Amino acid sequence: MKIVVLDGYTLNPGDLTWEGLEALGDTTVYDRTPADQVIERSKGAQVLLVNKVEMTREVLAQLPELRYIGVLATGFNVVDIEAARERGIVVANIPTYGTQSVAQMVFAHLLNLTQRVAYHSDTVKAGRWAESEDFCYWDYPLIELHGLTMGVFGFGRIGRNTAQIAKAFGMKVIAFDEYVQDPGDPNVRMVDLETLFRESDALSFHCPLTPETQGVCNAERLSLMKPTAFVINTSRGPVINNADLADALNRGVIAGAGLDVLEVEPPTMDNPLMTAKNVYITPHISWATRSARARLMQTAVDNIKAFSEGRRENVVN
């Protein structure tokens, strides 16, 4: 079995091993693959592993030996699922590897926003504490999470994990998910979308990108929020209209935002969020702890092993 990894660098920049894949077949790993080299590098492979490389109908038509595509992520929109099905190509993803890591990043952003950790650290390094007349100082209100309301948009695995952490901080939890009526937790209240935006002190997004969720956080809904509220997004960039969020931040409609994803990635420097007030942006790294990547790697190997044995593991088509 010939296995080709087209963009393996973000999964394994050198701190993991490809030995599990190599044990399953003749394996070639490319750190990155430009669009004009996808077909050439994929020729002859029965198994392809991709993260962000797009497998379009046109590409698949030129790979007659391909039988399996493993997406090294949860989202599988980079693959034309219908075209793969028509050609008998199995497509599998990695659904659960990053639950704890992504939820952890939610609170890294939220604690930074409420305690202004990065800002105050920068002032200390600039010498301000050394020159202070007092033993302490703060330039912004410091906010306690206990008693505040955490809103969770999307109550799947990561949303539920986020809710558990929020409760550990003493926060109230409300959630919206059109597919979930019973949260299975008496301390979580399911609400409608308008209530979610109105009542949340911190609103965290944990949903796939679909036609229904694209742009769901827009100017109209942001206007419903408290001026003291924060928005956190570790799910998919396009669920938030970036221009609307930047405008809301600049006009004080909401207090701040912590984002690990943007509408276009990598972003261009003319994205209005680059200059918006009180927004902290990380480069899509909530999934990237070593623990999470090791789980991802192992699941990718297990998926392919199952496929080679005629079993279906995490198949999405």
Which entry of 109, 206, 236, 295 is annotated as an active-site residue?
A: 236
pLDDT at 240: 98
Segments forming the whole domain that contains residue 32: 2-97+290-308
For 94-134, how does the pLDDT look when each residue is reduced to its tens digit (9 = 90+)?
Answer: 988 999 999 999 999 999 999 999 999 999 999 999 999 99
Residues 35 and 55 in one domain: yes
Query: Choosing from 265, 290, 311, 312, which is the catalytic residue?
Result: 265
Whether residue 132 is found in the same domain as residue 275: yes
Q: Looking at residue 77, what is its pLDDT?
A: 87
- How many CA atoms lie less than 13 Å away from 286 in the CB half-sphere? 28
Q: Is 221 a catalytic residue?
A: no
Q: How confident is the model at residue 158 (pLDDT cuts 50, 70, 90)?
A: very high
pLDDT for res 80: 97
CATH code for position 37 = 3.40.50.720
Count of domains forming the chain? 2
Looking at the structure, tell me whether residues 150 and 270 fall in a common domain: yes
Q: Establish whether 67 is a catalytic residue.
A: no
Catalytic, out of 87, 157, 198, 284? 284
265 included as an active-site residue: yes
Are 192 and 223 part of one and the same domain? yes
CB-CB contact of 284 with 261 (8 Å):
yes
The rounded radius of gyration (Å) of the Cα atoms in the chain is 22
Q: For residue 99, give the nearest of 154, 184, 156 by alpha carbon.
A: 156
- pLDDT per residue as tens digits for the range 19-48: 999 999 999 999 999 999 999 999 999 999
* 82, 105: one domain: no
Residue 262, φ and ψ in degrees, nearest 5 = -135, 170
Same domain, 105 and 87: no
Asked if residue 67 belongs to a domain, the reply is: yes
- With 0-12 / 13-18 / 19 or more C-beta atoms within 10 angstroms meaning exposed / middle / buried, residue 152 is buried
Closest CA to 219 of 243, 192, 190, 189: 243
Question: What is the arithmetic mean of pLDDT over 206-217?
Answer: 93
Domain presence at residue 254: yes
Residue 139: the pLDDT is 95
**pLDDT above 90: residue 286:** yes
In a domain, 205, yes or no: yes
Predicted pLDDT at 232:
98
Asked if residue 257 and residue 161 are part of one domain, the reply reads yes
Residue 138 domain flag: yes
Asked whether residue 212 is assigned to any structural domain, the reply reads yes
**pLDDT at residue 75 above 90?**
no
Tell me: do 248 and 215 sit in the same domain.
yes
- The first and second tokens of residue 9, run together, are 């660098």
Interval 78-91: pLDDT, tens: 999 999 999 999 99
Residue 316 in any domain: the answer is: no
pLDDT for 17 equals: 96
Q: Are residues 18 and 146 in the same domain?
A: no
How much of the chain exceeds pLDDT 90, in percent? 97
Residue 1: alpha-carbon gap to chain centroid: 32
Domain presence at residue 224: yes
- Does 130 lie in the same domain as 188? yes
Residue 5 confidence (pLDDT): 98
Does the model's pTM come out above 0.75? yes
Domain check: are 120 and 185 in the same one? Answer: yes
317 domain residue, yes or no: no
Look at residue 208 and tell me whether its pLDDT is greater than 90: no
pLDDT score at 209? 87
155 and 232 co-located in one domain:
yes
